[in-house]
Copies of this chain bind each other. A is one copy, B any other.
Amino acid sequence: MADTSPDNIPFAISAYTPERLRGALRQMYLIRKFEEGAEDSYTRGLIHGTMHLSIGQEASAVGACIGLSETDKITSTHRGHGHSIAKGADVGRMFAEFFGKETGYCKGRGGSMHIADVGKGNLGANGIVGGGLPIAVGAALSAKRLETGAVTVCFFGDGANNEGAFHEALNMAAIWKLPVIFLCENNKYGMSMSTDRSTAVASIADRAVAYAMAGASVDGNDFSAVSEASEAAIARARAGEGPSLIEAVTYRWRGHSKSDRNRYRSKEEIAEWMACDPIPRMVQMLSDHGIIGAGDAARIEAEAEAEIVQGIAFAKESPAPALSDVTRDVYTKPAA
Specify which chain B residues have a CB less than 8 angstroms from the CB of A274 in the assembled complex. none
Cβ-neighbour of A201 out of B168, B200, B212 (below 8 A): B212
- Chain A 169-206 near chain B by CB (<8 Å), digits 1 or 0: 01100110000000000000000000001111110001
**How extensive is the interface on chain A, given as a class?**
20 to 34
Please measure, in the bound complex, the distance between the C-alpha atom of A162 and the C-alpha atom of B171, giving whole angstroms. Answer: 7
Identify which of A162, A202, A210, A211 gathers the most chain B CB atoms within 10 Å of its CB: A210
Specify which chain B residues have a CB less than 8 angstroms from the CB of A334 in the assembled complex. none
Please measure, in the bound complex, the distance between the C-alpha atom of A174 and the C-alpha atom of B162, giving whole angstroms. Answer: 12
Least CB distance, A205 to chain B, in whole angstroms: 11
A207 at the A/B interface (Cβ < 8 Å)?
yes
A167 at the A/B interface (Cβ < 8 Å)?
yes
Specify which chain B residues have a CB less than 8 angstroms from the CB of A197 in the assembled complex. 175
Specify which chain B residues have a CB less than 8 angstroms from the CB of A211 in the assembled complex. 200-201
A164 at the A/B interface (Cβ < 8 Å)?
yes
A209 at the A/B interface (Cβ < 8 Å)?
yes
Please measure, in the bound complex, the distance between the C-alpha atom of A178 and the C-alpha atom of B205, giving whole angstroms. Answer: 24
Please measure, in the bound complex, the distance between the C-alpha atom of A210 and the C-alpha atom of B212, giving whole angstroms. Answer: 11
A166 at the A/B interface (Cβ < 8 Å)?
yes
Specify which chain B residues have a CB less than 8 angstroms from the CB of A210 in the assembled complex. 200-201, 206-207, 209-210
A213 at the A/B interface (Cβ < 8 Å)?
yes
Cβ-neighbour of A167 out of B167, B175, B206, B212 (below 8 A): B167
Least CB distance, A227 to chain B, in whole angstroms: 27
A292 at the A/B interface (Cβ < 8 Å)?
no
Mark out the residues of chain A between 273 and 299 whose CB falls within 8 Å of any chain B CB in the assembled complex: none
Give residues in A with beta carbon < 8 Å to B. Answer: 162-168, 170-171, 174-175, 197-202, 206-207, 209-213
